[in-house]
Chains A and B, each alone.
Chain A
């Protein structure tokens, strides 16, 4: 099992360009998440999908959109990239959102630089 995979690993964009970060999991998990990690800020939740067909905003959703394509895949789109979106983006998945023992597993991350 690959676990959680993300593409691309690295990306450089110019301000105003758009791109989609892809995430897939092969653990048959119901819930998926997108985080960004910035120095001194920790991991912050951008969007999450509790189950296939549902998506909800997290702590820092502005400037992003998501699509839960199917149970395996959850993509994050930047419509008009800004330098403030320079960050490391992690996708994660878990069996279900509401279980208190639910553990999140992380993908390898995408390092995005917006010039």
Chain B
């Protein structure tokens, strides 16, 4: 079982819709969770981080964390064609060997105009 799993997609949504991206992780000691956006041919850029159970909102983006079920999700409201990119979920433990960032393989999002 991979440590961080994401559906590779592509996830296709119409412009203006809500895009829902999901990520599951295997290590229960994981403490920190990050969503990076990566445009084709570019480097990853951080869009959200979340550390506590529940929802965290930032503009059109909402991150949701459920540690008991070991999943984290990213909702993008009012999706725009400029949101079309690969979204990487990354998970980090705390202390010792677990303090490195582990990335999923990413979900490709395509927003159709």
Contact = CB atoms under 8 A, between A and B. Distances in A.
Nearest to A96: B99
Tell me if A's interface is mostly helix, strand, loop or mixed.
loop
Interface of B: 4, 8, 31-32, 34, 42-46, 49, 51, 88, 92, 94-95, 99-101, 103-106
Contacts of B101: 45, 104
A74 interface: no
Interface residues of A, number: 21
Nearest to A41: B105
Interface in A23-80: 40-45, 48, 58
Contacts of A109: 42-43
Interface of A: 40-45, 48, 58, 90, 97-98, 100-109
Contacts of A45: 100-101
Contacts of B49: 101, 103
Given A97-B99, A106-B44, 11 more contacts: A42-B4, A43-B103, A58-B100, A100-B51, A101-B32, A102-B32, A103-B34, A104-B101, A106-B45, A107-B43, A109-B43
